[in-house]
Amino acid sequence: MNTGKQQKPVLTGQRFKTRKRDEKEKFEPTVFRDTIVSGLNEAGGDLDAVAKFLDVTGSRLDYRRYADTLFDILIAGSMLAPGGTRIDEGDKTKVTAYCVFTTEESHAALRLYAQVFNKLIRRYKYLEKAFEEEIKKLLLFLKAFSESEQTKLAMLTGILLANNALPPPIITSLFTDSVVKEGTSASFAVKMFKAWIAEKDANSVTSSLRKANLDKRLLELFPVNKQNVEHFSKYFNEAGLKELSDFLRIQQSLGTRKELQKELQERLSQQCPIREMVVYVKEEMKRNHLQEQAVIGLLWTCLMNAVEWNKKEELVTEQALKHLKHYAPLLAVFSTQGQSELVLLLKIQEYCYDNIHFMKSFSKIVVLFYKADVLSEEAILKWYKDAHGAKGKSVFLEQMKKFVEWLQNAEEESESEGEEG
């Protein structure tokens, strides 16, 4: 019993000392830094040894608390101050010569580093979010790094994005004004996308950007006065990234068309004069570089959405012809090319097939548009011969048979009259 009483204060003292030491290490990132730097220096360029060292050391050191210090050292070789300057850069004992920024500037070398990060995060899952925050932070610090360091970070980021080790929204850090200035963001993005494509393919990039709603924000890589599709296309084409240039054009066009459709629906509901609608659509086409083929299909959709159609087949045709006759002058302005006329014919075919009450209206609508100079005889004959769609093909070709024969006869007559003359 006496022995137990003597041990009690000793045990209490030991506990107190341990707590005190823990407390000191808890708020001592320099101890953490020295351990990581020493381990990396010992492993040298052997990345398998680096991965093993990080795996084992995580059970001893507080990775959770010092995640930013850990990733600063692995990427930049030392702790970073706000803005990206190196802390203790002059003291060789506190900096490692083995990190992402000092490795070889090649896809293969940076892929090996990407594997180190993947292994570390798989082992210590809680580091995943901290790693995302680290990369976002480094993207804001880009101007503090040399061109070679920026290139290596861009390649590493591209490889990690390709393998889903980082989420695409981290790219939004590149849209910050301070990084956009002087072309830093655009230059970085080009290298990042190239590494991403080299690791996977262009489709992986475009589908990821679309899912993350970044597809229409890519222009933000440039200063405000250069945020246009022309500048983007030129820059990315010259960098050998035509796939992304084409992708942005398509996405911008889709966004524009949605806005245009919304505005047209509004104007139709207000029964806006046709003349005003023509002026508006022409301005939008010019401003957004829209082709006639895109606009004619959009106008057809808007016109057909603007009416509450009768459910009775015998009444809907009459209703449709009255409505379309009124708006034929609007369509005629935007169907001046053969390709646009074929787009419209296919849209009409598709609509009449998808809306069962309109199945018998197809030929009547086409004849109306022929008479109103919306559709030419050449376009109708071309559609009939080989440009029609598959939907309801036999029904609609049968409907058009007599009219097409009439057109062909009229054509033959005019040709023979021309020969006689």
Which among 107, 113, 93, 117 has a CA at the least distance from the CA of 36?
93
Mean pLDDT of the chain: 88
How much is the pTM?
0.62
Stretch (H or E) spanning 341:
helix 338-354
Q: What is the DSSP letter of 86?
A: B
Instruction: Please state, in angstroms and rounded to a whole number, the distance separating the CA atoms of residues 287 and 296.
Output: 17
pLDDT of residue 4: 47
**What band does 73 get if pLDDT is binned at 50, 70 and 90?**
very high
pLDDT (tens digit, 9 = 90+) per residue, 248-295? 777 777 667 788 888 899 999 999 999 999 999 999 888 777 889 889
pLDDT of residue 8: 47
Q: Which domains does the chain have, with CATH numbers?
A: 311-414 (1.25.40.180)
Please tell me what DSSP assigns to residue 293: H
In the structure, what pLDDT confidence band is assigned to residue 399 with cuts at 50, 70 and 90?
Answer: very high
How does pLDDT run across 322-368, given as a tens digit for each residue? Answer: 999 999 999 999 999 999 999 999 999 999 999 999 999 999 999 99
pLDDT digits (tens, 9 = 90+) for 85-117: 888 767 777 889 899 999 999 999 999 999 999
> Rounded to an integer, what distance in angstroms lies between the CA atom of residue 256 and that of residue 95?
51
List Cβ neighbours of 229 (8 Å cut-off, separation of 6 or more). Answer: 219, 248, 249, 252, 289
Q: Please give the structure tokens belonging to residue 417.
A: 């009259």
From CA 403, how far away is CA 86, in angstroms rounded?
80
Three-state DSSP state, 80: strand
| 216 or 218, which is more confident | 218
Instruction: Give dist(CA 152, CA 119) in Å, integer.
Output: 19
